[in-house]
């Protein structure tokens, strides 16, 4: 295990070098154990479109459930949608699998206890749990939920955009453009779209 992956605000590293399936499973066990110590029983789980994110999503979720924490799986989403899902489902926390602004060979994990992202010594506590192998055990459940329409409805009710507004949307092949495009069209915007198809290679 490379201790350098435990950053100030997330767990992040290079795919297959720093982050491999065994480590991701241990991280899931650590997240679940840490969550239970903070009275977290249910967490939402989302991911971006990076090539490794779907596999990491499945593995980390398996690790979390093995501690007895329940998962609400919202699948592909933008990071703000993950934060929204915690409040919408009244969950106790959440995990977002994303490499954020980093190159395609990176990936990472943002962890929320309640609505707040853990950071600093809280991130280091995950490392210490893995190093000590002091994992909780249990049988957590999993269910899938689609947050997309609810999130778009929430924004549509609260943000006023003039119909017919001309918008150029460059999605950068991430998930942001994929979810923003139908929302802008719902407003009646005249959208010119660029790179709005999710592609984890970010060509």
Q: What percent of the chain has pLDDT over 70?
A: 100
Reported as a pLDDT band with limits 50, 70 and 90, residue 203 is confident
Mean local confidence (pLDDT), 12-30: 97
Angle at 179 between CA 177 and CA 180, to 5 degrees: 60
Q: What is the pLDDT of residue 66?
A: 98
Q: Tell which residue, 39, 153, 179, has the closest CA to residue 88.
A: 153
Q: Which of 52, 100, 132, 133 is catalytic?
A: 100
CB 115 within 8 A of CB 15: no
**Token pair 């934060």 in the structure block, residue:** 83
pLDDT for residue 67 is more than 90: yes
* 158-166 average pLDDT score: 92
Residue ranges per domain, the chain? 3-146, 160-194
Sign of the torsion formed by the C-alpha atoms of 60, 66, 70 and 72: positive
- The span from the CA of 164 to the CA of 24, in Å, is 46
Q: What is the CA radius of gyration of the chain?
A: 18
Residue 101: pLDDT over 90: no
Structurally, at CATH architecture level, domain 3-146 sits in 3-Layer(aba) Sandwich (3.40)
Q: Is 52 a catalytic residue?
A: no
């Amino acid at each position: 295990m490379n201790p350098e992956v435990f950053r100030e605000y997330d767990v992040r590293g290079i795919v297959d070098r720093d982050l491999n399936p065994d480590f991701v499973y241990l991280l899931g066990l650590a997240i679940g154990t840490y969550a239970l110590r903070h009275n977290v029983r249910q967490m939402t789980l989302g991911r971006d479109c990076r090539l490794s994110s779907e596999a990491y999503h499945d593995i980390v979720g398996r690790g979390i459930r093995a501690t007895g924490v329940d998962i609400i799986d919202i699948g592909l989403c933008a990071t703000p949608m993950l934060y929204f899902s915690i409040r919408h489902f009244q969950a106790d926390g959440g995990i977002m699998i994303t490499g954020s602004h980093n190159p395609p060979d990176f990936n990472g994990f943002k962890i929320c206890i309640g609505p707040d992202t853990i950071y600093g010594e809280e991130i280091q506590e995950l490392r210490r749990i893995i190093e000590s192998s002091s994992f909780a055990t249990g049988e957590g459940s999993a269910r899938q939920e689609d947050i997309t329409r609810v999130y778009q409805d929430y924004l549509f009710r609260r943000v006023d955009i003039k119909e017919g507004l001309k918008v150029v949307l460059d999605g950068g092949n991430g998930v942001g453009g994929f979810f923003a495009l139908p929302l802008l069209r719902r407003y009646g915007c005249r959208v010119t779209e660029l790179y709005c198809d999710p592609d984890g290679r970010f060509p």
